[in-house]
Amino acid sequence: MLTTVAQAVVNGLLIGGIYALVSIGVTLIFGVVKIVNFAQGEFVMIGMYISFYLATNFGIDPLVSLVISMPVLFVVGVLLQHFLIRRVLGLGDMPQIFLTFALSLLLVNLALLLFTANYRTVQTPYSEAAIQLGTLYIPIAKLIAFAVAMALSGLLWAFLHATDIGKAMRAAAQNRDVAMLMGINPDRVFCVAVGVALALAGAAGSLLMPFYPAYPLVGQVFVLMAFVAVVLGTLGNIIGALIASLMMGVAESLGIQFVGADSGLIVVFAMLLLTLAVRPSGLFGGRNR
């Protein structure tokens, strides 16, 4: 019994690392640009397909293709902010919600047209390997994904606190108008924020590829988790999103273990609705909505 619980917790933490990359992206965009990116999961999907094609056509290991998927998605993010999101800022809820929502629909259905609904997997030497730790069983691919995800989160934290553009981003997140008065160019800061967020989603995609199939709807799983984690962790709070993502991973894993294989999502949604009912401002902050 105890072993089962421990194993479920470990599995949950490992996948929680991936959820963290996605939810940090969502919360970063929300914090800086004040937009909820409904399409964040679809960029994970794009990251997965990039790694899949690099692996099948050029034999590049998915973990190595991280260095390609991240910059590619960074550029996509900058273009997305510059050409689309910028146009709807300040236009009210409807355009802001439905722009990224439409983008999500578009990317899913384009993927369906281009790649079909088939599941694509990449076999790596370490895909099936695992470490036996006492009675615990730790799959290597997931462990690497978790470690890289945590490292990237740490790097982001350092970026936000130690570099000028990072500090400018935090300033713009706190108060856009005052930041502008201090000589910060909001357009540039917003482009970098969306770029970084999408690069994290791309990284999540590449890290998933050794042990998770790519298919057009794959992003929805991750974006739902990310939304719940972002609400739980207080909107715009990066550390909150990280901790909440790990919690979500564990909650989902325990749900699957003890309620039934198809109950993971019910547990997650129940947590979301419960959070909204009890503490709409999230676990880590007093800021409203």
Partner 1 sequence: MYGLVHRGGFWVGMAAAVAIVLPLLVSSGFAIDIFIRILLFAFIGVAWNLMGGYAKQLSLGHAAYFGLGAYTSTILLIRYGVSPWIGMLAGGVVAMLASLPIGALCFRLRGPYFAIATIATAQVLMLLFLKFRDFAWGAEGTTMPNLGDAPLMMQFEGKTPYYYVALALLAIGLIITHRIERSWMGYYLVAVGEDEDAAEAIGVDATRIKRNIYLISAFLTALAGTFYVQYIYFIDPNTAFSFNVSVEAALVSIVGGIGTLWGPVVGTVMLESTSALLQSWLGGGHGGVQLTVYSLILIAVIVWRPSGLIGILTDAYYRVGRAGAVRAKEVPLDG
Instruction: Candidates 13, 105, 130, 140: give the one binding partner 1 (CB under 8 A).
Output: 105
Instruction: Give dist(CA 140, CA 143) in Å, integer.
Output: 5
Range 231-260, binding partner 1 (CB under 8 A): 231, 235
Instruction: Candidates 119, 137, 258, 269: give the one binding partner 1 (CB under 8 A).
Output: 269
CB of residue 216 to partner 1, shortest distance in Å: 8
Residue where the block lists tokens 């510059």: 82
Q: Is 103 in the site for partner 1 (CB under 8 A)?
A: yes
Range 116-175, binding partner 1 (CB under 8 A): 116-117
Residue where the block lists tokens 């996605």: 22
Q: Which is nearer to partner 1, 26 or 242 (CB)?
A: 26
Range 24-43, binding partner 1 (CB under 8 A): 36, 38
Structure tokens at 161: 């606190």
Instruction: Candidates 93, 123, 162, 164: give the one binding partner 1 (CB under 8 A).
Output: 93
Contacts for 59 with CB less than 8 Å, ≥ 6 apart: none
Burial class (CB within 10 angstroms; exposed 0-12, middle 13-18, buried 19+) of 131: exposed
CB of residue 285 to partner 1, shortest distance in Å: 14
Q: Work out whether the CA dihedral 226, 232, 235, 240 comes out positive or negative.
A: negative
Instruction: Candidates 106, 151, 155, 158: give the one binding partner 1 (CB under 8 A).
Output: 106
**Bridge partners of 58?**
none
55-71 residues labelled b (16+ CB within 10 A) or e (exposed): beeeebbbbebbebbbe
**Bridge partners of 139?**
130
CA distances from 132 to 20, 138, 254, 257, 268 (A): 25, 6, 20, 20, 29
Q: Is 98 in the site for partner 1 (CB under 8 A)?
A: yes
Q: Which is nearer to partner 1, 89 or 144 (CB)?
A: 89
Q: Which is nearer to partner 1, 79 or 180 (CB)?
A: 79
CB of residue 259 to partner 1, shortest distance in Å: 10
Q: Is 273 in the site for partner 1 (CB under 8 A)?
A: yes
- DSSP codes joined into one string, 224-264: HHHHHHHHHT-TT-HHHHHHHHHHHHHHHHHHHHHT-GGGH
Interaction mask 192-231, partner 1, x per CB under 8 A: ------------------------x-------x--x---x
Cβ proximity of 246 and 253 under 8 Å: no
Instruction: Candidates 97, 130, 136, 239: give the one binding partner 1 (CB under 8 A).
Output: 97
Q: Work out whether the CA dihedral 41, 42, 46, 49 comes out positive or negative.
A: positive
Q: Is 287 in the site for partner 1 (CB under 8 A)?
A: no
Q: Is 112 in the site for partner 1 (CB under 8 A)?
A: yes
Contact positions toward partner 1, by CB under 8 A?
36, 38, 84, 87-88, 91-99, 101-103, 105-106, 108-113, 116-117, 216, 224, 227, 231, 235, 262-263, 265-266, 269-270, 272-273, 276-277, 280, 289
